[in-house]
Amino acid sequence: MQNIGLYRFIDNLKPTHFRILLRDVIITEDRNVTRPYLQYTARIKKWTVWRTPMADRTATVTRNTLESQITVTVNLDGTGQANFATPVPFLEHMMDQIARHGLVDLDVQATGDTHIDDHHTVEDIGITLGMAIAEAIGDKKGLTRYGHAYVPLDEALSRVVMDFSGRPGLIMKADFVRSHVGGFDVDLTREFFQGFVNHALVSLHIDNLRGSNAHHQVETIFKAFGRALRMAATADERMAGVMPSTKGTL
Tell me which residues touch Mn ion (CB under 5 A): 219
The helix, strand and coil proportions of the chain, stated in percent and rounded to the nearest 5, come to 30, 35, 35
For the purposes of burial, counting CB atoms within 10 Å of the CB of 73, is it exposed (0-12), middle (13-18) or buried (19 or more)?
Answer: middle
CB of 193 to Mn ion, least distance (A): 18
Q: Which residue is nearest to Mn ion (CB)?
A: 219
Of 221, 220, 224, 233, which is closest to residue 146 (Cα–Cα)? 233
CB of 236 to Mn ion, least distance (A): 32
CB of 91 to Mn ion, least distance (A): 12
Nearer to Mn ion, 114 or 217 (CB): 217
CB of 184 to Mn ion, least distance (A): 11
Three-state secondary structure call for residue 12: helix
- Dmax over CA atoms of the chain, in Å, equals 69
Nearer to Mn ion, 123 or 219 (CB): 219
User: Residues, the chain, total?
Assistant: 250
Nearer to Mn ion, 100 or 148 (CB): 100
Round to whole Å and give the CA distance between 147 and 133: 15
CB of 225 to Mn ion, least distance (A): 14
Nearer to Mn ion, 80 or 168 (CB): 80
Of 98, 230, 80, 219, which is closest to residue 164 (Cα–Cα)? 230
CB of 79 to Mn ion, least distance (A): 21
Nearer to Mn ion, 35 or 210 (CB): 210
Of 35, 17, 18, which is closest to residue 27 (Cα–Cα)? 18
Nearer to Mn ion, 142 or 226 (CB): 226
Strands 105-112 and 146-153: unpaired
